[in-house]
Amino acid sequence: MLKGYRCDLHIHTCLSPCADLDMCPAALVEKSIAERLDVIAICDHNASENVEYVMKAAEGKPVHVFPGMEIMSREEAHILALLGTMDELLQIQDIVYRSLPGTNREEIFGCQAIVNESDEVEGFNERFLMGATELTAHDIVETIHRLNGVAIAAHVDRESFSVLGQLGFIPPDIGFEALEVSHITGRIKARELYPKLSDYPFIESSDAHFIEDIGKGFTTIYMEKPSISELKMAIEGRKGRHIGW
Ligand SMILES: [Zn+2]
Ligand SMILES: [Zn+2]
């Protein structure tokens, strides 16, 4: 049986230096449920330490969590990686950390807190998570696909840090499954703004950095169950799965 899942596939936690410290796993899960979201994806900048804690906070609760990451390419474009398992996410994490130079300067960029499902601080990430990796956008998408994940060009309606803004176009051979727009643009307007990209499915998500923004953007996706393989089928419009309006 297909069900329309309300999905917000781009949410940050307090691990992202630009996100609010209130974005800890338990609060974020509670707010997602209050916003009637069925599926969320945690996509911190170049990092994943809080993902398992969000998954723990969501255990037994009516919201499914996809492991994810928002990776910055050497061209300074943000790419969302959505994975099926923590193991696959950790493999991507390994590659990202080997390609991410520098250390964080908390006084400039903000704090990068690792917080567990009980609101306890487990530590701080010292890496320069706001920095660009040395990986090209092509490298990143190829790695995501090798690990059976879904690659989405983040916030293409934003000038800064988007594939469109940084490269000026979506390389046709790169193989993004979908393009993301903010709730301010929305998917209907995106179709008007980007007629050349009409072959791509668009999704809308919140890119929430603050609790109150969770669910402001979401996409209803028709699947049998929330899984990466079902999500892929919906994006490709196969076997009745599809992205709703
Ligand atoms: Zn971004
Ligand atoms: Zn983001």
Contact 190, 155 (CB under 8 A): no
| Matching residue, tokens 């969501």 | 58
Look at the domain 3-243 and name its fold: TIM Barrel (3.20.20)
Q: Write the burial class of residue 244 (CB in 10 Å: 0-12 exposed, 13-18 middle, 19+ buried).
A: exposed
Res 84: pLDDT: 97
The Cα 72–Cα 46 span in angstroms is 7
- Ligand number nearest to the C-alpha of 158: 1
pTM, full prediction: 0.97
Average pLDDT value for the chain? 96
The Cα 28–Cα 42 span in angstroms is 10
Enumerate residues with CB within 5 Å of ligand 1 (an ion).
78, 154
Query: How is 76-114 classified by DSSP, letter by letter?
Result: S-EEEEE-SSHHHHHHHHHHHHHT---B--HHHH---EE
| Domain spans of the chain, in order of start | 3-243
Gap from CA of 56 to ligand 1 centroid (Å): 25
Res 109: pLDDT: 86
Phi first, then psi: what are they for 15, rounded to 5°? Answer: -70, -30
Quick one: the chain helix, strand, coil %, rounded to 5? 30, 25, 45
Res 245: pLDDT: 76
Contact 21, 14 (CB under 8 A): yes
Q: Please name the residues in contact with 140: beta carbons below 8 A apart, sequence gap of 6 or more.
A: 71, 73, 79, 81, 133, 151
- Ligand number nearest to the C-alpha of 78: 1
**Angle CA 147–137–85, to nearest 5:** 20
Sheet-wide strand order for 39-42: 202-204, 178-181, 150-153, 78-82, 64-72, 39-42, 3-11, 219-223, 242-243
Q: Pull the structure tokens for residue 243.
A: 């992205």
Query: Which segments within 141-208 are labelled E, that is strand?
Result: 150-153, 178-181, 202-204
Gap from CA of 129 to ligand 2 centroid (Å): 12
- Ligand number nearest to the C-alpha of 72: 1
Residues (pLDDT < 50) of the chain are none
